[in-house]
Amino acid sequence: MLKNALNINNIKKKDMKTKWIIGLLFTAFFAMAIPQKASACEIEYEILKGKKETYTVGDTIIVKVKVALTHRSCPVALKDTKFKLNGMKVLQATSWKQLSSMKFERKLKIVITGAKGNKVSINTIRECEKDGGFGSLKLETISAE
């Protein structure tokens, strides 16, 4: 009788382990099945010249814009990348320079023209059916007195 009780306990333990493993596999499957949003383009900024904590009207900066494509066949040409400026104006810009098969950069010479509030910004937008890409650079400003 004791052997039967021990045998039943072993079966219950094995059954619990099996249920536990099936539960983990089920959870892992659904975690991987949930769609993950991935931008088609990663956009970064680097201020090369004129960097400071706060800016005033008339300050000039040189900004490097980097675009990394994450899809191999992007249907949107780099020339179709849009720049929207708030409180800034582009004085000069280089052409897009290809750094590698999927990475590009461009330099912009920008002047601060004024802001509503205490921030100016530049937004870079790439629109396509593969999620596109978006990047933003915001700078603090103070009024010139």
Token pair in block for residue 100? 């590698």
Written as one string, the DSSP assignment of 34-64 is: S-----SEEEEEEEEES--SSB-TT-EEEEE
pLDDT of residue 76: 82
The class that CATH gives domain 41-140 is mainly beta
Max CA distance (Å), the chain: 96
- pLDDT per residue as tens, the chain (145 positions): 555 555 555 556 666 677 767 766 666 665 565 655 455 689 999 999 999 999 999 999 999 999 998 877 777 888 999 999 999 999 999 999 999 988 999 999 999 998 777 899 999 998 887 777 899 999 999 875 5
* Of the candidates 101, 104, 136, 97, the residue with the CA atom closest to the CA atom of residue 120: 136
Q: What is the pTM of this model?
A: 0.68
pLDDT of residue 143: 72
